[in-house]
Amino acid sequence: MKSSEDIKNIAIQTIEEEANSIYQLKNYIDGDFVKTVELILESNGRVVITGIGKSANIANKIVATLNSTGTPALFMHAADAIHGDLGMIRPNDTVICISKSGNTPEIKVLVPLIKNMGNTLVAMVSGLDSFLALNSDYVLKAKVEKEACPNNLAPTNSTTAQLVMGDALAVALLECRQFTDRDFAKYHPGGALGKKLYLRVSDLVSKENPPKVSIDEKIRPIILEISSKRMGSTAVVNEQDELLGIITDGDLRRMLERNEDVSQLTAKDIMTPTPKITSSDVLAINAFQIMEKNNITGLAVVDNGKYIGMVHLHDILKEGIV
């Protein structure tokens, strides 16, 4: 039985070996990598990624990354391909075949079939003198010297290298396409991630009868306005709905602490004249960050100089994006 210290050392050694394998990949980013990126950018087809065994698992992940960053892609299992799935490849598609050795029987059968179809074939392979590498149009060199496995058998360094090379390809394509966070949001509309990227203040603010009082309003109507609208604050506006200030629950408490007679006080005496504001087109997550930074629970929403409503911290929390 290994000691706890031995177990820790094994884990650290594995991480170090895989990190070193990844770091060495920078030496293999060459003209073939650039040509592959340019080929995919200029093509009106898709990227079909194939592999077998653990490489097939990596292929699936790279397909998911490409699809989510603006490059249409699909997975084709190498074994299934030679039993009918080759029909999914269209004339303009680019095919990327992932394999560590590049010499597995399925790959040797598949490669000539793809070449006969006339599609451009890109190898992602560690074995640079393999059948796959020598018969491909371009080679993405996911080369590793050995596996982290002490028997040099279980795919560890090799699959990590494939994954990182796939990420490098996806990010290069992403940046060349000038893919923005808004583009990313189109492909990730669900869950907290999607909401962070597309949910805006306009989706949360209620523009119908928002809390507001005039600058000359007395204390009782102010308290009633804050209480009835359940926002914890109210805007102070002029006749043109231009924002003059804001009054919060905290402002009311501080007013009571400072004054024994509050009957003659007005909104002007209580309000914060330079409140934090936002606009309706700001992302909800950014509005949350303003609240968090300033330790407040609400923001007045102002568009084109006009007050349109309030957005509260609870509105954002309810959406589950933080």
Q: From CA 207, how far away is CA 205, in angstroms rounded?
A: 6
Q: From CA 44, how far away is CA 57, in angstroms rounded?
A: 26
User: What is the full DSSP assignment across 183-230?
Assistant: HHHHH--SHHHHHHHH-BGGGT---SS--EEETT-BHHHHHHHHHHHT
Distance between alpha carbon 316 and the CA centroid of its chain, in Å?
19
3-class state of residue 302 by DSSP: strand
Tracing tokens 């928002």 back to the chain, one arrives at 210
| Helix residue ranges per DSSP H, 43-122 | 54-68, 78-81, 105-117
Residue 77 among known ligand-binding residues = yes
3-class state of residue 68 by DSSP: helix
Q: Rounded to the nearest 5°, which phi and psi values hold at 82? A: -85, 5
Q: From CA 243, how far away is CA 249, in angstroms rounded?
A: 18
Q: From CA 46, how far away is CA 225, in angstroms rounded?
A: 58
CA angle 23, 50, 101 (to 5 degrees): 55
DSSP type of residue 100:
S
Distances (CA, A) of 237 to 216, 247, 284: 10, 11, 24
3-class state of residue 243 by DSSP: strand
Q: Are strands 306-312 and 298-303 parallel, antiparallel or unpaired?
A: antiparallel
Question: 142 and 24 in contact (C-beta within 8 Å)?
Answer: no
Q: Residues comprising the binding site? A: 77
Q: Residues comprising the binding site for Zn(2+)? A: 77
